[in-house]
């Protein structure tokens, strides 16, 4: 295939809004508008019959048939099912994500012609299970994933491109440490990166997959609903249509408060009116603890990178929620410098993804890439081991978080009983010493051990973690020829048959039967 004809496409699959970008003929990233003519596509899915409507129309349907509409499915990626049935049926969150991807693909293909290969972004803080589910969503949408990259990394790449870091001999190629603060609609991510020449190295990453603009909205909704209840003795949140409408008004008020020092909420339910004036200060008070959580995480990421604020040359703000003045104030106060808002808060992530796609396509065509990205893992990986001291199970970490990828690491354990004939290795992800507080991500079993194997026989567990997030495990039992190399099979997620059935239903006629 002629790689020049393959467009470099990046998709920012956001919790609230998604954006698609491509590289133009000169290699510059540009956003593509959707079929409605908008840059941002709401990540909202209206299930209708066997298919789905995604975007603006789905948002509109929230006002009339909220029980058919899914919002913020990304927040639940990694769970088995979306928290609420849609039109009476339960859906895995990655299926809802696949519908969003399908819409983004179809609209983009109208402009750039047919394509399948894409780079999709995920929050840096996404764990293995969520990354795998995102990959599955791409597959079910009929796409081929060149790679998954972290959103803050993508934003940093877009920034580096804009700053001329990719131009040979550009004067701006001096080493820079940048902190990317990404507050979107449903997730918060912070990453410390070093830009040196054409190399982007993540030094540390941290975040919260349950924190974003929607939590700020929720505070206004709660405040307004309490006020309504006090005045009229009824709570509009108990009616799903009225609640959706109140949400919309509150989100609008939040945006007003980014532009003006005070805003007015006008609402009506069952003929009862509510008019509420809210100032920026009141809003800041209502949401103080949320902002505080981002401060804590930011400071923690900086410490994990072993840097102080004086080492940070730039603070990059991405994500729609960084338009809130309280966020800009916080980062100005923390860093002692003016936060950089030169990259588009909405488009930077998609642009970085398109640049990354361009690099991967160039590489596969045998060309030398203009930049390289080095990542770290956002969560520790370990195995569940029996602690001889306490006789309790604990998480024995093999690869600590924030390790530069790729990485290989090994750890030794011992068999616990004489004559043990198999060994179960359970792999978990997380920081807690207690396995129950970690995410199970897979297991492997070494079978048919020699019958007389002594208790205390050393077992070596080796992990190899690739830059793309694939994990390979090798287990060796000392003194035997038993060795097992295993690519992780996930403990959760959809099976092949299910994925293919969904792929057929979602991608429809676009996928020829022989491709499945
Ligand atoms: P995601 O990547 O999670 O989909 P985005 O980066 O697109 O999120 O940001 C969406 C969030 O930004 C929403 O919660 C939206 O309400 C918020 N947002 C957008 N514009 C503004 C604004 N002017 N003031 C405050 N919040 C805003
Ligand atoms: Mg985003």
Distance, in Å, from the CA atom of 352 to the CA atom of 23, rounded to the nearest integer, reads 10
Distance, in Å, from the CA atom of 77 to the CA atom of 132, rounded to the nearest integer, reads 9
Give 42 Cα–ligand 1 centroid separation in angstroms: 11
Ligand 1 pocket, residue 123 CB under 6 Å: no
Distance, in Å, from the CA atom of 77 to the CA atom of 510, rounded to the nearest integer, reads 25
Query: Higher-confidence residue: 480 or 95?
Result: 95
Distance, in Å, from the CA atom of 343 to the CA atom of 351, rounded to the nearest integer, reads 10
Nearest to 345 by CA among 31, 28, 26: 31
Counting from 1 in the atom list of ligand 1, the atom nearest the Cα of 319 is 6
Ligand 1 pocket, residue 322 CB under 6 Å: no
Count of H-run helices and E-run strands, the chain = 11, 24
Give 255 Cα–ligand 1 centroid separation in angstroms: 9
Q: What pLDDT, on the 0 to 100 scale, is given for residue 363?
A: 87
What letters, b where the CB count within 10 A reaches 16 and e where it falls short, cover 173-203?
Answer: beebbbbbbbbbbbbbbbbbbbbeebebbbb
CA distances from 123 to 74, 111, 349 (A): 10, 27, 10
- Coil, helix or strand for 415? coil
Ligand 1 pocket, residue 186 CB under 6 Å: yes
Q: Name the pLDDT band for 509 (thresholds 50, 70, 90).
A: low
Nearest to 13 by CA among 213, 214, 205, 186: 186
Ligand 1 pocket, residue 287 CB under 6 Å: no
Ligand 1 pocket, residue 395 CB under 6 Å: no
Distance, in Å, from the CA atom of 201 to the CA atom of 193, rounded to the nearest integer, reads 5
Q: What pLDDT, on the 0 to 100 scale, is given for residue 489?
A: 54
Q: Is the pLDDT of residue 512 over 80?
A: no
Give 408 Cα–ligand 1 centroid separation in angstroms: 38
Q: Name the pLDDT band for 441 (thresholds 50, 70, 90).
A: confident
Give 12 Cα–ligand 1 centroid separation in angstroms: 14
Shortest-distance Cα residue to atom 8 of ligand 1: 184
138 conformational bin, left if phi > 0, alpha if psi -120 to 50, beta if neither: alpha
Counting from 1 in the atom list of ligand 1, the atom nearest the Cα of 258 is 24
Give 226 Cα–ligand 2 centroid separation in angstroms: 31
Q: What is the 3-state secondary structure (H, E, C) of 467-516?
A: CCCCEEEEEEECCCCCEEEEECCCCCCCCHHHHHHHHHHHHHHHCCHHHC
Give 33 Cα–ligand 2 centroid separation in angstroms: 17
Ligand 1 pocket, residue 324 CB under 6 Å: yes
Q: What pLDDT, on the 0 to 100 scale, is given for residue 514?
A: 42
Ligand 1 pocket, residue 17 CB under 6 Å: yes
User: DSSP letter string over 38-105?
Assistant: -S-EE-EEEEETTEEEESHHHHHHTTT-GGGEEE-GGGGBTBSS-SS-BTTB---HHHHHHHHHHHHH
- Coil, helix or strand for 347? coil
Shortest-distance Cα residue to atom 12 of ligand 1: 320
Which listed ligand is nearest to 72 at the C-alpha?
1
User: DSSP letter string over 367-406?
Assistant: PPPS-EEE-B-SS-EEEEEEETTTTEEEEEEEE-TTPBSS
Give 207 Cα–ligand 1 centroid separation in angstroms: 17
Give 16 Cα–ligand 2 centroid separation in angstroms: 8
Q: Is the pLDDT of residue 250 over 80?
A: yes
188-196 and 199-208: which strand pairing? antiparallel
Each residue of 100-150: pLDDT tens digit? Answer: 999 999 999 999 999 999 999 999 888 888 888 999 999 999 999 999 999
Which position has the token pair 């190629």? 173
- Coil, helix or strand for 344? coil
Give 318 Cα–ligand 2 centroid separation in angstroms: 8
Distance, in Å, from the CA atom of 123 to the CA atom of 105, rounded to the nearest integer, reads 20
Counting from 1 in the atom list of ligand 1, the atom nearest the Cα of 12 is 2
Ligand 1 pocket, residue 321 CB under 6 Å: yes
Ligand 1 pocket, residue 182 CB under 6 Å: no
Q: What pLDDT, on the 0 to 100 scale, is given for residue 453?
A: 86
Give 210 Cα–ligand 1 centroid separation in angstroms: 14
Give the domains, in start order, of the chain with CATH numbers. 213-286 (3.90.640.10), 381-488 (2.60.34.10)
Both tokens of residue 511? 């996928």
Q: What pLDDT, on the 0 to 100 scale, is given for residue 468?
A: 65
Element (H, E) at 462: strand 458-465
Q: What pLDDT, on the 0 to 100 scale, is given for residue 320?
A: 95
- Is 148:378 a contact under the CB 8 Å cutoff? no
Both tokens of residue 291? 């902002």
Q: Is the pLDDT of residue 485 over 80?
A: no
What letters, b where the CB count within 10 A reaches 16 and e where it falls short, cover 219-245?
Answer: bbbebbbeebeeeeeeebbeeeebbbb
Q: Is the pLDDT of residue 386 over 90?
A: no
Reply yes or no: is the peptide bond before residue 399 cis, omega within 30 of 0.
Answer: no
- Coil, helix or strand for 136? helix
Q: Name the pLDDT band for 3 (thresholds 50, 70, 90).
A: very low
Ligand 1 pocket, residue 251 CB under 6 Å: yes
Shortest-distance Cα residue to atom 23 of ligand 1: 255
Counting from 1 in the atom list of ligand 1, the atom nearest the Cα of 182 is 6
């Amino acid at each position: 295939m002629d790689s020049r004809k393959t467009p470099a496409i990046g998709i920012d699959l956001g919790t609230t809004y998604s954006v698609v970008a491509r590289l133009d003929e000169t290699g510059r990233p540009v956003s593509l508008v959707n079929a409605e003519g908008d840059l941002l596509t709401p990540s909202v899915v209206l299930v209708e019959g066997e298919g789905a409507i995604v975007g603006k129309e789905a948002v509109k349907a929230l006002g009339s048939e909220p029980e058919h509409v899914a919002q913020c499915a990304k927040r639940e990626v990694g769970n088995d099912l979306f928290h609420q049935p849609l039109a009476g049926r339960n859906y895995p969150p990655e299926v809802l994500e696949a519908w969003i991807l399908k819409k983004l693909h179809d609209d983009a293909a109208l402009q750039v012609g047919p394509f399948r290969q894409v780079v999709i972004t995920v929050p840096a803080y996404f764990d293995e299970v969520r990354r795998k589910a995102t990959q599955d969503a791409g597959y079910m949408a009929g796409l081929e994933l060149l790679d998954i990259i972290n959103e803050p990394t993508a934003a940093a790449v877009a920034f580096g491109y804009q700053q001329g870091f990719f131009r040979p001999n550009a004067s701006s190629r001096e080493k820079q440490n940048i902190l990317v603060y990404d507050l979107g609609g449903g997730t918060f991510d912070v990453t410390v990166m070093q830009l040196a020449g054409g190399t982007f190295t993540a030094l540390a990453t941290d975040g919260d997959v349950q924190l974003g603009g929607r939590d700020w909205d929720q505070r206004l909704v709660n405040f307004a609903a309490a006020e309504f209840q006090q005045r009229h003795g009824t709570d509009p949140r108990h009616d799903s249509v009225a609640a959706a409408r109140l949400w919309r008004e509150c989100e609008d008020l939040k945006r007003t408060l980014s532009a003006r020092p005070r805003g007015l909420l006008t609402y009506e339910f069952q003929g009862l009116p509510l008019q509420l004036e809210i100032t920026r200060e009141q809003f800041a008070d209502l949401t103080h603890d949320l902002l505080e959580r981002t401060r804590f995480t930011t400071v923690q990421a900086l410490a994990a990178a072993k840097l102080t604020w004086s080492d940070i040359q730039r603070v990059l703000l991405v994500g729609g929620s960084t338009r809130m003045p309280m966020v800009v104030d916080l980062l100005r106060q923390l860093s002692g410098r003016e936060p950089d808002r030169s990259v588009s808060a909405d488009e930077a992530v998609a642009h970085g993804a398109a640049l990354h796609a361009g690099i991967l396509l160039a590489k596969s065509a045998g060309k030398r890439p203009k930049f390289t990205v080095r990542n770290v893992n956002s969560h520790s990986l370990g195995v569940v081991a029996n602690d001889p001291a306490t006789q309790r199970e604990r998480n024995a970490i093999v690869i600590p978080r924030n390790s530069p990828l790729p990485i290989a690491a090994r750890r030794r354990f011992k068999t616990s009983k004489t004559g043990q004939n198999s060994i179960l290795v359970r792999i978990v992800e997380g920081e807690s010493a207690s396995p129950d507080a970690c995410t199970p991500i897979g297991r492997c079993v070494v079978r048919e051990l020699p019958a007389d194997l002594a208790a205390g026989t050393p077992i070596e567990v080796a992990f190899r973690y690739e830059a793309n997030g694939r994990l390979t495990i090798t287990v060796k039992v000392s003194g035997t020829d038993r060795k097992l190399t295993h690519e992780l099979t996930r403990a959760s997620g959809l099976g092949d048959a299910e994925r293919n059935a969904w792929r057929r239903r979602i991608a429809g006629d676009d996928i020829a039967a022989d491709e499945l």
